[in-house]
């Protein structure tokens, strides 16, 4: 069990190549730590038989099998829900930043984990990748084939151009008609006011929203010391910067930027989670599960 | 703007070095991809602007530093007007009237420029007008404009050379209420600046110079050998220039004409020899072409042979032959001989030679003393082995006779004092040293020794107009009588005693009764329509002038006389710029 739990560490996970496997390891490793299994239930779709054990409800016994085999068997059904999960993965240039693991890689793992979790819980899962515009859109479905497509799509994502998050969210608002769970994984490097406005419009359409803002540790600490040529990963614009001179001011501005989002999300009743890419995935997954519990 | 060392201007290409370093540094600046420059830009936009500005300022500073350094090394000179109109100053105005200013109209121009300078200054300015040479003839003093202008007219060209040093030292001691300036108008020969290390407030109005060839010396040589038919004239020419100089030396004496063409090597002397018949008494030597002809046109004159009356007392065999071999051959000597001077009137004689007599009486001694008190009278004494008491006492005044040496072999002449003018002809003459002496007095001289033998034995003693040889000149005592140097030695001793130079320097005397006495005072004289320079300092013909570099080292500001503009040295300004740029760069690094 403990071996599986170690896959929650992004660095360890980065060494694995199969995204599906990664997601499976993360989720199962994560779930192992929980006290009850929430994903088994009842529905109309038969899945399997199992022998009756003491304590099972008698109404669950399949009497026809008893008649043929003279043994008690319990009939299991696949649970069915109405939840449609939309995972919005930002693949803009800025998401390509990171030393050990980039923000995009982290986002991809997180997306895969969430997709797997949704799939395992028989929720519909879809994926939308975007930078200045929507690149991929796979509508949510609980079918396995859809899940495979989702994982493949996530796997193929590479860093793109500039971010135009507000516009993308606006477009998506037009496309997603049915109410669902929208999970946004992004560094949110766009005009904060517009991004918040777009998210609010989603919220207004009764969507439930979880925002994971992925930030690299360097963006918090700004550990650079030597004068260097800093190049913007989205615009390719560059500046010669003396880090020592601007560090404190930068950190102040950056903190204010994060605080603005945090405050804005709170006011809009949007679940917001600031993710440091050096942290394990479990915090993000817990956030999701708490949200799901509220929804069901 | 002009440059003294323009070659250093190529160093300006080094300005590209800071630019290249800047570009390389920029190219090699560590590149960091960062998600967004949004917060970096907004964080410190001012700071970034300053960094960019600092980068550019550093580049400019470094370029300035390198550029200024090489410009300073090139020694830039700014050309501009030096004397502002109506400037109030105490002006020390020195006019170069040395001989070299004879070139072209240099001197007249110098006076003109001086007038122009005086006019340019304010009416309240004061002037001290002094010539470079012969200041004692002018008695300069501080005065106002008009008097200064008049003083200029009195200054005449000189035959001499002059030095700026004493004038400048006097200038430094002058206390004036207004700023003072030293203005020198001249050709700026190096010799004029000798002894000066540093000048300030010194302006040189530069006058161009001519060529630099000069007759350094003209030497007449009497013939020493008989028969006397010709005499020699040697002209020494100095080429002060840095290139060989091809010239023609002409000797004109009435209808007698000789010329020699020659090339004088750079910065060297060259002797040109003419052989002249005895009847040529005077003439002119010229060098052509030359820009300063007056110093290269010399008059030479040879004195008439003066008869010298010689009395030989004692053995006259060899001495008489040496002085007058036969009656047919003309020599300046009239010779008598005797064994006793008691009954002879000594007054008509110029030279008495006493050769080996044993004793003299008191009366003879008094007669000889009386003779020696005459002008142009001399005595040559040859001492034999036997000397009486009276003669020994007389000789004792000049030397102490110690012992007579009958040598088994012989000793040679070791040394002769060639600094004694009549003996100068024995310079580098090894023939004298081969003379053998067999018998001789060992004596201790109390007078000047002019010749010495081996073991430092004195051979010729001189005091006033007496010469003493410690032996007799015949074959028993010495073989000098067979030596070719015997006649010149005897001649030179006689000329020395009579204060006559065998080597007559060029001189002018009694030409067509125009001059009553010999002219020896340096100057210019007109003889038969020719201007002749006498005893001109040949250094004045060395027209090497101080260069711009030398002028700068001395602190002299050179002014062009036509435009009255001069160069201001900007070297220090650029060095200051280098320093400022350096300090500025350090400040940039600190901030």
Closest residue in A to B37 (Cα) is A232
Q: B221-277: per-residue pLDDT in tens?
A: 665 554 456 778 888 888 876 678 888 888 888 788 999 998 888 878 889 888 888
Q: Is the pLDDT of residue B512 over 60?
A: no
Tell if the CB–CB gap between A219 and B35 is shorter than 8 Å.
Answer: yes
In this predicted structure, which of A106-115, B200-209, B299-308, B382-391 has the lowest mean pLDDT? B299-308
Residues B229 and B268 in one domain: yes
Chain B residues with CB inside 8 Å of A224's CB?
32
**Chain mean position to CA A202:** 17
DSSP letter string, B554-578:
HTEEEEETTTTEEEEE-HHHHHHHH
**Any idea what the CATH number is for the domain that residue B133 is in?**
3.40.50.410
* φ, ψ (nearest 5 deg) of residue B308: -115, 120
Question: Residue B578: what pLDDT?
Answer: 92
Q: Is the pLDDT of residue B374 over 80?
A: yes
User: Taking residues B191-205, what's their average pLDDT?
Assistant: 85
In this predicted structure, which of A109-118, A164-173, B356-365, B517-526 has the lowest mean pLDDT? B517-526
Please count the other Cβ atoms lying within 10 Å of the Cβ belonging to residue B19: 13
Name which of A91, A226, A253 to mutate to probe chain B: the one with the most chain B Cβ atoms within 10 A of its Cβ.
A253
Q: A157-177: per-residue pLDDT in tens?
A: 888 878 888 888 888 888 887
Q: Is position B37 within any domain? A: no
DSSP A178: S
Tell if the CB–CB gap between A253 and B39 is shorter than 8 Å.
Answer: yes
**Any idea what the CATH number is for the domain that residue B515 is in?**
2.60.40.10
The first and second tokens of residue B554, run together, are 């001395």
In this predicted structure, which of A93-107, B260-274, B329-343 has the lowest mean pLDDT? B329-343
Question: Residue B439: what pLDDT?
Answer: 92
Question: Residue B45: what pLDDT?
Answer: 61
Percent of chain B past pLDDT 90, that is, above it, reads: 16
Question: Residue B433: what pLDDT?
Answer: 81
Chain A to chain B, count of Cβ pairs less than 8 Å apart? 85
Cα dist from B577 to A222, B61, B65, B570, B573, whole Å: 41, 10, 7, 11, 6
- Of the candidates B38, B47, B52, the beta carbon closest to that of A246 is on B47
Residues B286 and B188 in one domain: no
User: Taking residues A79-85, what's their average pLDDT?
Assistant: 67
Closest approach of A236 to chain B, Cα-based (Å)? 9
Question: Residue A89: what pLDDT?
Answer: 93
Higher per-residue pLDDT: B518 or B309 = B309
Question: Residue B516: what pLDDT?
Answer: 38
Domain ranges (residues) in chain A:
10-18+20-30+81-295, 45-78
DSSP letter string, B65-122:
HHHHHHHHHT-EEEEEE-S-TTB--EEEEEE--SGGGGSTTHHHHHHHHHHHHHHHB-
Residues B101 and B47 in one domain: no
Instruction: Give the strand order in the sheet containing B31-34.
Output: A238-241, A228-232, B31-34
**Any idea what the CATH number is for the domain that residue B446 is in?**
3.40.50.880
Question: Residue B124: what pLDDT?
Answer: 85
Torsion, CA A98, CA A104, CA A105, CA A109, rounded to 10:
140
Residues B162 and B224 in one domain: no
Q: Is the pLDDT of residue A18 over 60?
A: no
Q: Is position B364 within any domain? A: yes
Closest residue in B to A243 (Cα) is B40
Closest residue in B to A246 (Cα) is B44
Name which of B22, B32, B36, B47 to mutate to probe chain A: the one with the most chain A Cβ atoms within 10 A of its Cβ.
B36
Q: A130-156: per-residue pLDDT in tens?
A: 988 888 999 888 888 898 899 899 888
User: Taking residues A62-68, what's their average pLDDT?
Assistant: 88
Higher per-residue pLDDT: B194 or B532 = B194
Q: Which pLDDT band, with edges at 50, 70 and 90, does B55 fall under?
A: confident
To the nearest whole number, what is the mean pLDDT of chain A?
A: 79
Closest residue in B to A224 (Cα) is B32
Q: Is the pLDDT of residue B94 over 60?
A: yes
Question: Residue A78: what pLDDT?
Answer: 56
Q: Is the pLDDT of residue B57 over 80?
A: yes
* Distance in angstroms (rounded) separating the CA atoms of residues B323 and B491: 8
Chain B residues with CB inside 8 Å of A252's CB?
43
Q: B446-490: per-residue pLDDT in tens?
A: 889 999 998 889 999 998 889 999 999 888 899 888 887 888 888
Percent of chain B past pLDDT 70, that is, above it, reads: 82
To the nearest whole number, what is the mean pLDDT of chain B?
A: 81
Question: Residue A7: what pLDDT?
Answer: 47
Residues B16 and B123 in one domain: no
Tell if the CB–CB gap between A239 and B39 is shorter than 8 Å.
Answer: no
Chain A residues with CB inside 8 Å of B33's CB?
96-97, 230-231, 233
Tell if the CB–CB gap between B33 and A97 is shorter than 8 Å.
Answer: yes
In this predicted structure, which of A29-33, A102-106, B44-48, B566-570 has the lowest mean pLDDT? A29-33
Q: Is position B38 within any domain? A: no
Q: Which pLDDT band, with edges at 50, 70 and 90, does B570 fall under?
A: confident
Question: Residue B354: what pLDDT?
Answer: 93
User: Taking residues A253-267, what's their average pLDDT?
Assistant: 91
- Of the candidates A226, A242, A249, the beta carbon closest to that of B51 is on A242
Closest residue in A to B48 (Cα) is A241
Question: Residue B291: what pLDDT?
Answer: 57
Question: Residue A168: what pLDDT?
Answer: 87
Q: The domain at A10-18+20-30+81-295 falls in which architecture?
A: 3-Layer(aba) Sandwich (3.40)
Residues B359 and B271 in one domain: no
Cα dist from A120 to A24, A40, A116, whole Å: 10, 9, 6
Tell if the CB–CB gap between A224 and B42 is shorter than 8 Å.
Answer: no
Q: B7-16: per-residue pLDDT in tens?
A: 888 988 998 9
Closest residue in B to A189 (Cα) is B36
- Of the candidates B29, B36, B42, the beta carbon closest to that of A229 is on B29
Q: Which pLDDT band, with edges at 50, 70 and 90, does A69 fall under?
A: confident
Phi-psi region of B98 (alpha: psi -120 to 50; beta: other; left: phi over 0): beta
Closest approach of B18 to chain A, Cα-based (Å)? 19
Q: Which pLDDT band, with edges at 50, 70 and 90, does B44 fall under?
A: low
Residues B438 and B336 in one domain: yes
* Distance in angstroms (rounded) separating the CA atoms of residues A185 and A285: 12
Domain count, chain B: 4
Cα dist from A260 to A188, A249, A264, B170, B529, whole Å: 11, 17, 6, 88, 115
Question: Residue B290: what pLDDT?
Answer: 63
Residues B423 and B337 in one domain: yes
Q: Is the pLDDT of residue B61 over 50?
A: yes
Are A163 and A92 within 8 A, CB to CB?
yes
Picking from B483, B505, B501, B485, the residue whose alpha carbon sits closest to that of residue B428 is B485
Most confident of A65-74, B23-32, B299-308: A65-74
Tell if the CB–CB gap between A246 and B29 is shorter than 8 Å.
Answer: no
- Of the candidates A240, A245, A254, the beta carbon closest to that of B39 is on A254
Q: B127-150: per-residue pLDDT in tens?
A: 999 999 887 788 888 899 889 998
User: Taking residues B276-281, what's their average pLDDT?
Assistant: 78
Residues B59 and B118 in one domain: no
Chain B residues with CB inside 8 Å of A230's CB?
32-34, 37, 40
Q: A24-57: per-residue pLDDT in tens?
A: 655 655 554 443 334 444 445 566 788 888 878 8
Chain A residues with CB inside 8 Å of B35's CB?
93-95, 97, 103, 187, 189, 216, 219, 232-234
Chain B residues with CB inside 8 Å of A257's CB?
39
Q: B534-553: per-residue pLDDT in tens?
A: 556 666 666 667 887 788 88
Chain B residues with CB inside 8 Å of A195's CB?
none
Question: Residue B471: what pLDDT?
Answer: 92
Tell if the CB–CB gap between B34 and A233 is shorter than 8 Å.
Answer: yes
Chain A residues with CB inside 8 Å of B27's CB?
none
Domain hosting B153: range is 83-210+543-563
Q: What ipTM score was computed for the predicted complex, to two decimals?
A: 0.74
DSSP letter string, B177-231:
SS-EEEEEEE--BGGGGTT----SSEEEEE------EEEEEEEEE---SSS--EE
Residues B288 and B332 in one domain: no
Q: Is the pLDDT of residue B80 over 70?
A: no
Question: Residue B508: what pLDDT?
Answer: 39
Residues B558 and B582 in one domain: no
Q: Is the pLDDT of residue A128 over 90?
A: yes
């Amino acid at each position: 069990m403990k071996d599986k739990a170690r896959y929650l560490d992004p660095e360890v996970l980065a060494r694995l190549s199969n995204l599906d496997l990664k997601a499976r390891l993360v989720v199962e490793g994560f779930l192992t730590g929980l006290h009850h299994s929430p994903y088994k239930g009842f529905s109309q779709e038969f899945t399997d038989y199992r022998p009756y054990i003491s304590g099972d409800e008698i109404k669950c016994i399949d009497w026809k099998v008893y008649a043929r085999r003279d043994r008690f068997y319990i009939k299991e059904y696949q649970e069915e829900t109405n939840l449609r999960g939309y995972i919005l993965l930002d693949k803009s240039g800025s998401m390509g930043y990171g030393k050990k693991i980039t923000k995009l890689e982290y986002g991809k793992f997180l997306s895969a984990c969430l997709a797997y979790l949704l799939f395992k819980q028989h929720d519909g899962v879809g994926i939308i990748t975007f930078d200045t515009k929507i690149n991929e859109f796979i509508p949510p479905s609980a079918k396995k084939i859809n899940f495979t497509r989702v994982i493949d799509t996530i796997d193929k994502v590479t860093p793109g151009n500039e971010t135009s998050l507000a516009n993308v969210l606006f477009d998506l608002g037009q496309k997603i008609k049915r109410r669902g769970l929208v999970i946004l994984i992004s560094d949110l490097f766009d005009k904060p006011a517009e991004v918040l406005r777009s998210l609010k419009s989603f919220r207004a359409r009764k969507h439930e929203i979880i925002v994971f803002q992925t930030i690299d540790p360097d963006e918090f600490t700004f550990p650079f010391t030597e004068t260097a040529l800093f190049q913007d990963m989205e615009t390719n614009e560059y500046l010669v910067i003396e880090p020592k001179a601007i560090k404190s001011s930068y950190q102040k501005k950056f903190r204010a930027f994060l605080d603005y989002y945090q405050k804005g999300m709170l006011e809009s009743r949007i679940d917001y989670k600031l993710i440091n890419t050096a942290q394990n995935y479990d915090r993000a997954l817990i956030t999701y599960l708490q949200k799901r519990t509220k929804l069901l | 703007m002009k440059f003294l060392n323009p070659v250093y201007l190529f160093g300006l290409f080094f300005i590209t070095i800071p630019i290249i370093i800047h570009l390389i540094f920029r190219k090699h600046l560590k590149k960091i991809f960062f998600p967004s420059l949004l917060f970096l830009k907004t964080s410190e936009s001012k700071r970034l602007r300053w960094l960019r500005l600092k980068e550019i300022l550093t580049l400019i500073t470094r370029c300035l530093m390198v550029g200024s350094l090489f410009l300073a090394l090139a020694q830039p000179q700014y050309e501009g007007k030096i004397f502002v109109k109506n400037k109030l100053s105490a002006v020390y105005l020195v006019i170069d009237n040395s001989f070299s200013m004879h070139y072209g109209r240099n001197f007249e121009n110098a006076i003109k420029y001086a007038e122009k300078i005086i006019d340019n200054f304010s009416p309240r300015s004061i002037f001290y007008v002094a010539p470079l040479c012969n200041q004692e003839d002018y008695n300069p003093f501080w005065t106002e404009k008009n008097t200064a202008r008049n003083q200029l007219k009195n200054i005449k060209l000189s035959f001499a050379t002059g030095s700026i040093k004493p004038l400048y030292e006097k200038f430094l001691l002058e206390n004036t209420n207004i700023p003072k300036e030293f203005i020198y108008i001249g050709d700026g020969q190096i010799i004029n600046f000798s002894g000066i290390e540093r000048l300030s407030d010194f302006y040189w109005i530069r006058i161009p110079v001519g060529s630099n060839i000069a007759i350094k010396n003209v030497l007449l040589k009497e013939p020493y050998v008989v028969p006397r038919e010709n005499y020699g004239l040697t002209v020494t020419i100095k080429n002060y220039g840095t290139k060989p100089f091809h010239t023609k030396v002409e000797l004109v004496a009435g209808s007698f004409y000789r010329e020699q063409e020659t090339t004088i090597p750079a910065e060297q002397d060259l002797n040109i020899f003419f052989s002249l018949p005895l009847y040529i008494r005077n003439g002119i030597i010229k060098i052509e072409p030359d820009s300063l002809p007056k110093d290269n046109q010399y008059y030479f004159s040879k004195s008439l042979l003066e008869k010298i009356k010689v009395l030989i007392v004692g053995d006259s065999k060899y001495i008489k032959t040496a002085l007058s071999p036969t009656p047919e051959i003309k020599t300046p000597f009239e010779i008598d001989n005797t064994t006793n001077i008691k009954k002879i009137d000594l007054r008509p004689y110029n030279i008495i030679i006493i050769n080996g007599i044993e004793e003299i009486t008191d009366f003879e001694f008094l007669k000889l003393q009386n003779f020696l008190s005459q002008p142009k009278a001399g005595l040559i004494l040859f001492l034999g082995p036997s000397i009486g008491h009276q003669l020994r006492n007389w000789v004792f005044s000049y030397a102490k006779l110690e012992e007579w040496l009958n040598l088994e072999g012989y000793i040679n002449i070791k040394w002769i004092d060639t600094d004694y003018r009549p003996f100068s002809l024995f310079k580098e003459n090894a023939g004298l040293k081969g003379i053998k002496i067999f018998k001789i007095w060992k004596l201790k001289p109390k007078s000047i020794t002019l010749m010495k033998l081996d073991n430092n034995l004195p051979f010729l003693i001189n005091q006033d107009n007496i010469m003493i040889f410690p032996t007799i000149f015949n074959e028993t005592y010495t073989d000098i009588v067979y030596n070719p140097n015997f006649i010149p030695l005897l001649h030179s001793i006689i000329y020395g005693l009579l204060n006559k130079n065998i080597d007559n320097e060029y001189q002018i005397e009694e030409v067509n009764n125009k001059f009553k006495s010999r002219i020896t005072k340096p100057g210019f004289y007109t003889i038969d329509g020719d201007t002749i320079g006498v005893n001109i300092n040949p250094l004045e013909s060395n027209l090497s002038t101080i260069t711009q570099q030398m002028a700068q080292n001395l602190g002299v500001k050179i002014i062009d006389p036509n435009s009255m503009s001069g160069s201001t040295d900007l070297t220090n300004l650029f060095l200051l710029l280098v320093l400022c740029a350096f300090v500025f760069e350090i400040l940039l690094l600190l901030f």
